[in-house]
Amino acid sequence: TETVEFYGEHQAGITTRQQNSLVFAAFDLKPTTVAQVETMMARWAAAASLLAQGKPVGPVESRPMAPPADTGEAFDLGPNRLTITVGFGPSFFDDRLGLAAKMPEALRPLGQLAVDTTIDPSISGGDICVQACSEDPQVAFHAVRNLARIGRSVITLRWLQEGFGRASATSTDQVTPRNLLGFKDGTANIKAEEPAVAEKFVWVGEETDQPWMKGGSYLVSRKIRMHIEAWDSDDISDQERIFGRTKDSGAPLSGGGEFTDPNFTVKGTDGRTKIDRFSHVRLAHPDSNGGAQLLRRGYNFTDGIDVRTGTLSAGLFFIAYQKNAHEQFARIQNNLAQDALNEYISPVSSSLFAIPPGLTGIGDWYGKKMF
Ligand code: HEM
């Protein structure tokens, strides 16, 4: 199966053509030292470079009286385009390690945004994050499990989220997939084939107050529950009004095909704009947000059913990458306070992580220039 290059200017798993499965884990530090965290990051870098090639993280049968170095469940599966993306949360820079002076300004917490009335802190935040994406769910799970195992004296799992299908497209050679509301998601996204757009909106540049972040990015994750049963009883014309696009082709209601730019001024015979002013696409569009754009890389999830109500517990695990989440994600999210879609969704988690740049080669590790 196919391999994604592990070393490079940027970490893989951001502009990489989006894979079909996600396992995302957030970890908290145990009482530890900077030296121990650095050692773990160096071991993670070595392990991740092997995992990306579809290799086990260590020899299996070298010491008969010790547990095998690799847990084994990915032995025969190949790399399956595995990418591992590692980052640091705001809490990593609190008093415990004494690294407060290394915290980027842009990593200050997002705080409570306009729609944030239902956020569960126990599935939000964390000191360190790992995003594992692969075409095979077991390959992604294996990666996170083995990194957790390598780090077990330094960190403990805080929360973990699986995503069973991609809900975005990050390459023009990918078909736009659908989210669980049945609409194409990822049509108007930053794509790998537009490096100049990524340079402007995704990668941290000279503007940062922390040189170690140059070439990195900021990740926002939001677990968003969908009220699926209510949605499923809504008229198709209302569903399309809410997004501002058709369900079938994904074309904007102002006309054209899936990739035609929406026109927010075209009016119908009733004198109203064809794209509703409270539609998701209009309120999320760069024209409504001072030009701000995001690279969206979310996944569909389900947690089974909500036993209190007997309804499906499912939705979108939204992930976005950007140069500055305060100026990009938070700005757009606050503009979405009036989104017609809000009737059918509730955010249940919210996290922000600083994603350092890519690793240059053997001997480099996550955040090496920061420590
Ligand atoms: C566009 C779905 C949450 C930002 C879209 C589109 C769909 C969609 C169907 C149109 C197709 C496309 O261009 O990809 C959803 C669903 C959500 C959700 C189901 C929640 C469950 C969010 C959030 C944000 C966001 C939380 C950011 C704060 C955007 C942006 C666009 C977009 C920036 C592109 C707008 C444009 O340039 O035309 N979304 N979205 N979405 N969404 Fe969302």
**Count of residues in the chain:** 371
Burial of 368 by CB count in 10 Å (0-12 exposed, 13-18 middle, 19+ buried)?
A: middle
Q: Which residues of 151-195 form beta strands (DSSP E)?
A: 155-163, 165-166
Ligand 1 within 6 A of 110 CB?
Answer: no
Instruction: Quote the radius of gyration of the chain (alpha carbons, Å).
Output: 21
Extract the runs of DSSP E, i.e. beta strands, from the chain: 21-29, 83-88, 128-134, 155-163, 165-166, 217-226, 295-296, 299-306, 311-322, 345-355
- Section 233-241 average pLDDT: 98
Specify which residues 316 forms β-bridges with: 224, 300
> SS3 for 161?
strand
Q: Looking at the CA of residue 250, tell me the nearest atom of ligand 1.
A: 11
Residue 1 has pLDDT above 90, yes or no: no
Q: Using a 6 Å cutoff on CB, does residue 140 contact ligand 1?
A: no
pLDDT of residue 330: 98
Minimal-distance CA residue to ligand 1 atom 22: 318
Residue range 305-345, pLDDT digits in tens:
999 999 999 999 999 999 999 999 999 999 999 999 999 99
Residue 353 phi, psi (nearest 5): -135, 145
Mean pLDDT of 131-156: 98
| pLDDT higher than threshold 90 for residue 253 | yes
Which atom of ligand 1 lies at the shortest distance from residue 289's CA? 33
Distance from Cα 216 to the centre of ligand 1, integer Å? 23
Q: Is 340 in the pocket of ligand 1 (CB under 6 A)?
A: no
| Distance from C-alpha of 367 to C-alpha of 371, rounded to nearest angstrom | 7
Average pLDDT over residues 186-197: 97
- Residues pairing with 358 in the sheet: none
Domain boundaries, the chain: 21-97+108-355
State ipTM.
0.98
For residue 18, give the 3-state DSSP assignment: coil
SS (H, E, C) 221-275: EEEEEECHHHHHCCCHHHHHHHHCECCCCCCECCCCCCCCCCCCCCECCCCCECC
The sign of the dihedral angle between the CA atoms of 243, 247, 250, 253 is negative
Q: What pLDDT is stored for residue 3 in this prediction?
A: 98
At 95 the pLDDT is 95
Ligand 1 geometric centre to CA of 281 (Å): 7
Give the residue, by CA position, lying nearest to ligand 1 atom 10. 185
> With bands split at pLDDT 50, 70 and 90, how would you rate the model's confidence at 148?
very high
Decide whether any atom of ligand 1 lies within 6 Å of the 37 Cβ: no
Give the pLDDT of residue 57. 96
Cβ–ligand 1 contact at 176 (below 6 Å): no
CB 86 within 8 A of CB 128: yes
The residue whose C-alpha atom lies closest to atom 37 belonging to ligand 1 is 285
226, 234, 247, 296, best to mutate for ligand 1 pocket (most atoms within 8 Å of CB): 296
The percentage of the chain sitting over the pLDDT mark of 90, rounded to a whole number, equals 97
Residue 112 has a CB neighbour count (10 Å cut-off) of: 10
Cβ–Cβ under 8 Å, residues 299 and 315 = no
**Rounded mean pLDDT, 192-200:** 97
CA angle 164, 15, 160 (to 5 degrees): 35
Distance from C-alpha of 352 to C-alpha of 109, rounded to nearest angstrom: 7
> Within the chain, how many helices (H) and strands (E) appear?
7, 10
Measure the CA–CA gap between 148 and 51, rounded to whole angstroms.
Answer: 14
Q: Position of tokens 């929360």? A: 159
Q: Inform me whether the pLDDT recorded for 70 exceeds 90.
A: yes
Q: Is the pLDDT of residue 39 over 90?
A: yes
Q: Is the distance from CB of 93 to CB of 125 less than 8 angstroms?
A: no
- Dist CA 92 CA 102 (whole Å): 10
CA–CA dist 79, 34 (Å, integer): 32
Instruction: Please report, as a single letter, which amino acid is at residue 319.
Output: I
Alpha-carbon distance of 136 to 80, in angstroms, equals: 6
Measured over the CA atoms of residue 277, residue 201, residue 129 and residue 73, the dihedral's sign is: positive
Residue 282 in contact with ligand 1 by CB distance below 6 A: no
